[in-house]
Amino acid sequence: MTEAFIVDAVRTPVGRRGGGLSQIHPADLGAHSLRALMDRTGIDPGAVEDVMFGCVDTVGGQAGDIARTCWLAADLPEHVPGTTIDRQCGSAQQAIHFAAQAVMAGVNDVVVAGGVQQMSMIPISSAMTLAADLGFDDPFTGSEGWVKRYGAGEVSQFNSAEMIAERWDCSREDMEAFAVESHERAIRATQEGRFEGEIAPLGGVVQDEGPREPNWEKIRSLKTLTEGGRVTAAAASQISDASAALLVVSEQGLSDHGLTPRARIHHMSVRADDPIWMLTAPIPATRHALERSGLSMDDIDLVEINEAFASVVLAWEKELAVDHAKVNVNGGAIALGHPLGATGARLMTTLLNELERTGGRYGLQTMCEGGGQANVTIIERL
């Protein structure tokens, strides 16, 4: 079995809801990263064998196989196909996995993986809410099998974040301090130019719009998301617009196209946990990945774990005894934003660049996903 290599990775800035990228059509948003990737690598776009893009809420401008639409909107060869992947928040990370699997199986030699999400135009959960007139208030009610197994209660990421905070004893103060640090890390990274090599400016936006100087008075004044709870909006990820794309190739692809790899995909797996708890799966998924790869957390130099909520990351750190100093060192989704279907590729792009900047060898990426799932990818810098 051949190995899978990452040749390059590029992303748009992450735009805030209603911000500088909010009026860019989803196809054009995704096309920008694809075109930038082709320009940066110098590869003949016609040599790409498939485009695998993550996206959630594939309605409106994100419907009709947005991966294919983005490629065509970028004025790239018509004979190259595309497929859209939905593993909820992990969609783009799963796209990277599928691309690597295709390469490792010898089915393809050159694949583009990534994701796109235009949350300003298409609000979160649109695929669910727009079906209300068809008789579906949510994906679960009415399923005899689901109700028999999990009951008829609300399935909510907000409830999950709150349950996690309680179970792992994450206080409101702990989560707010974590959120403030995320912003401070992201601001420092931006000021030091750490993101410049991975961002392709778009629409006059040259850097991520989410990070802001923390205002403790405002943070402490926020109401909790659930009555009597601990979690506030300050400790949750931001709604965002962005895209990202990576070039994944085989050894044969490297040779055929004269490409130099930046990283090797060392391990990839996905595991699942209780869907009502929803956001806990990174814990068993990371344990599984370390066991399968033969590595320990001591071997991992840097971690990117999606900050869907501060409680998710804090619980994961406690369970795995992870040194916080190597986790989301340039800030996470609380500061930088969480463009659902693109986040997995954004995290990988940032992880790759930070490994190179610091000289680290192994980087681990994981994220919680709807349905109680979590992908884990370990890359080795070359």
Dihedral, CA of residue 179, residue 181, residue 185 and residue 187, to nearest 10: 70
Tokens matching residue 168? 């792992």
Residue 267: active-site member = no
Residue 55: active-site member = no
DSSP string covering 2-23: ---EEEEEEEPPPEETTSTTTT
In angstroms, the CA 42 to CA 35 distance is 11
Residue 51 contacts residue 81 (beta carbons within 8 Å): yes
Residue 213 contacts residue 187 (beta carbons within 8 Å): yes
Residue 338: active-site member = yes
Residue 242 contacts residue 339 (beta carbons within 8 Å): yes
Q: Which of 32, 266, 267, 338 is catalytic?
A: 338
In angstroms, the CA 17 to CA 236 distance is 14
Q: What is the 3-state secondary structure (H, E, C) of 318-358?
A: HHHCCCHHHECCCCCHHHHCCCHHHHHHHHHHHHHHHHHHH
Q: Which of 55, 70, 89, 170 is catalytic?
A: 89
> What is the set of active-site residues?
89, 338, 368
